[in-house]
Chains A and B, each alone.
Chain A
Amino acid sequence: MASVSTPARRAAAGSSRRAGFRRAAATDRTRSGGAGWLFATPFLVFFTLFLIVPIGIGLWMSFTNASLTGHGDGTLVGLDNYAEAFGDSQVWQTLGNTVWFTVLTTVPLVLVALVMALLVYTGMPGQWLWRLAFFASHLLPVAVVYQIWSMLFQPDRGMLNGLLKIFGIDGIAWLTDEKYAMWSIALVTLWWTVGFNFLLYLAALQAIPDHLYEAAALDGAGAWRRLWSVTLPQLRRTTGLIAVLQVMASLKVFDQIYLLTKGGPNGATRPILEYIYDTGFTNYRLGYASAVSYVFFGLIIILSIAQLKIFSRRED
């Protein structure tokens, strides 16, 4: 009986424990004086210099007509840049591309990673080989990924069209046809990055206590029942984490698109980050580029908060 604790008792114990930590932390702080700050200083200096200050300068610039060429600096234009951004069809188009890419990649990157992890975890022989094979592509730098896939996608001599030809299907212009380009990029991204999510899932699977499966087996649950009622609910927290990380990573897509299609054909794969880059660094309009960045920054923050809220509610 002594081991049974009611929720109220658990909460009380928890709060007293927390209060205890607080007290201990307070005394510790007084004792150690400035040492903590001293150790944190190098980080704080870099954090301030290279994150806080640029964020502040960027925000300021977004209200000016600053140019990379040093002209127009400091001339406040108020909300003009933001007004232009909201009326700029390129902003909407590239934002649409970015969101479309995020949709195309997030779902498979969660599902495929889960399936891969389950396959490896549920006793396929030669586990080390599968782990290596599934994770290996994640180790490649983006330039190598670009080299491999630009050859595979090559319409005349590429392997993918070669395979299609065997089945009597005409070649596809993978990267130069507006209909297929974004799908092709999504395919590359899936191949390249799925290994990381796979690893997170594998770690989560290994952390599920065996006794849950034993208890389920004793209750007569079959393999599918154990998957649905034990494994997947236990993975919920990891799925939430992967989904949040994935959405943010996909929204920030740039490298593989810049290398494979430069945003083409016809702007069909141009993400908003490339538009910001082109506006700021190729066309030198830093003020306007900053404003577009802040619009995008705001969107990422809103999405992340919403996503975290959704998943934390599920946790409750």
Chain B
Amino acid sequence: MSGLSRRGLLRGAVYGAGAAVSASALSGCGSIAGSVRSADEIEYWTLFTGPDGELMKTMTRNVEKRVPGLKVRTTVLDWGPPYYTKLAMASAGGRSPDVAIMHLTRLAGYAPGGLLDPWDLDLLAEFGLKQEDLNKTLVKRSLYQGEPYAVPLDTHPFVVFFDRDVMDKAGLLTGDGQLVPFESPKHALELMDKLRRSGGTLGPVFGHANDAAMGWRMFWTLFSQTGATFDLTGKRAEIDEDTAVEVVRFMADLTRDSRTMDVQTAIAAFANGRSPMIFSGEWDMATYKATLKDKLGGSPIPTFYDRPAGASDSHALVLPHQDNPDPERRRRAHRFVAELVRSGLTWATAGHIPAYTPAVSSPQYARLRPQSEYAGAAKQLVLDPPVWFAGSGSDFQTRMCQALDPALGGSSSARSAVRTMVSQINTLLAQPNPA
């Protein structure tokens, strides 16, 4: 019994706990090292969840089947500011994943700071992916100082979806099922009134309330159609404010039935037939298709002003910076990306327009509807201004949407919205680029 004194027991417990902690810490280290760096797996970060996530998983698996010895370990992170924070930190640390998805509009905040490594075009070509087979606008945007820092997988524009039957009845479709052209904003408003009268429903809907991107997407679409000045290259923004005011007014008039709609409500209004037309991201195509089936029509955003344009972004593949990249892993990363981008046709089933042009011009793609109907959006896409603070999931887009929302909701004027936007942009321009 003497060996089992209270003090002895306590001491034994403390030593035991200490041993257990250090042992688990050691084994923990081992497993962490193993999970991050495995000789035969390449690490791939994506931001796709839901149906997009499932599809990406399938595509990755297919690539693994096609290429013997290529193993991909995918990490899915929630999209938005947290994703970009994690990616920036991993790249700054120099021990980042081998490949990652990134919105092309975020490149301006990443490439100049050395957070990304450039792609080897010869290596990509060796694996069957030539740069001339990719969407030209996207390729141009993927360059920084002449070097390719991103390989675009798709473009995901802001488009229009509609109910064919109702639109046809209102006389808003041409003989071959396309939207009738709008000659001017005024003409568009007249036609929308006709739509309201004939269908006895809401006009076009648009979910912007409390959203961090939709208001900006619509504004940027319409403003870009005017061709007016929107220059963020200097210390202060040079923006044609009168045109911007006109655009905001038109946005409010066009979607006067959905002044206070959030995205979910607008989606519901369109999917359950309360509205026959919605301004929306193509990523919601599957939701609409599920309820409207063959009645679902799609189109690039119509040209309301002088030139065709539609706000868009692109999921692109990047090489996050690594201090000491292993040449063999880099080679495999190139192989993986070449295969992935060439599987554009599979990716298109989710609604995205592949950046790989042979996929878009294939007969199989033409049979995908309504994807092929809005595929023209890829020819008129406009991306966010190439400044470090803009792009998908940025503070900039949130601020623009917040400035627009009261004007779209009818509680403040278009002029005051534009003033706020300009002053917010000037605040951001005055800040130093942290990269």
Q: List residues of chain A with CB under 8 Å of any chain B CB.
A: 38, 65, 67-72, 89-90, 150, 154-157, 171, 173, 175-179, 260-267, 278, 281-286, 288
Contacts and interface: CB of A to CB of B under 8 A. Distances in A.
Contact of A262 (B14, B110, B402, B434): B402
B209 A175 contact: yes
B394 A69 contact: no
A178 B411 CA distance: 8
B412 interface: yes
Q: Give the interface size class of chain B.
A: 35 or more
A267 B394 CA distance: 15
Interface in B387-435: 389, 393-395, 398-399, 401-403, 405-406, 409, 411-412, 420, 427-428, 431-432, 434-435
Contacts of B114: 71
A281 B85 contact: yes
A180 to B, nearest CB: 9
Nearest to A174: B260
B261 A156 contact: yes
Contact of A68 (B262, B401, B434): B434
Given A156-B261, A175-B209, A178-B406, A67 B431 contact: no
A253 to B, nearest CB: 17
Nearest to B405: A265
A176 B411 contact: yes
B399 A285 contact: no
Interface in B283-309: none
B260 A156 contact: yes
Nearest to A65: B432
Contacts of A266: 402-403, 405-406, 412, 420
Main secondary structure of the interface of A (DSSP, over half): loop
A67 B81 contact: no
B338 interface: no
Given A90-B427, A263-B402, A282-B84, A69 B435 contact: yes
9 contacts: A67-B434, A71-B113, A155-B260, A175-B209, A176-B411, A260-B210, A262-B402, A267-B402, A283-B434
Given A177-B411, A282-B81, A285-B434, A68 B88 contact: yes
B101 to A, nearest CB: 18
Closest 10 CB pairs of A and B: A70-B92, A264-B402, A155-B260, A67-B434, A284-B434, A282-B395, A282-B81, A177-B411, A265-B405, A281-B85
Interface string B52-96: 000000000000000000000000000001101100110111000
B262 A281 contact: no
B360 interface: no
B405 A176 contact: yes
Given A173-B260, A284-B88, A72 B434 contact: yes
Contacts of A267: 399, 402
Contacts of B243: none
B380 interface: no
B223 to A, nearest CB: 19
B115 interface: yes
A265 B402 contact: yes
Contacts of B378: none
B395 A176 contact: no
B406 A262 contact: no
B265 interface: yes
A289 to B, nearest CB: 10
B212 interface: yes
Nearest to B93: A70
B225 to A, nearest CB: 25
Contacts of A179: 411
Contacts of A72: 434
Given A67-B434, A69-B91, A265-B406, A283 B420 contact: no
| Centre residue among A150, A175, A266 by max chain B CB count within 10 A | A266
A51 to B, nearest CB: 20
Nearest to A178: B406
A281 B81 contact: yes
Contacts of B434: 67-69, 71-72, 283-286
| Centre residue among B14, B89, B113, B210 by max chain A CB count within 10 A | B210
A38 B14 contact: yes
Contacts of B113: 67, 69-71
Contact of A284 (B82, B420, B435): B435
Contact of A176 (B81, B85, B88, B210): B210
B209 A155 contact: yes
A67 to B, nearest CB: 4
Contacts of A286: 434
Interface in B86-140: 88-89, 91-93, 109-110, 113-115
Contacts of B432: 65, 285
Given A265-B406, A267-B399, A282-B394, A68 B431 contact: no
A285 B113 CA distance: 13
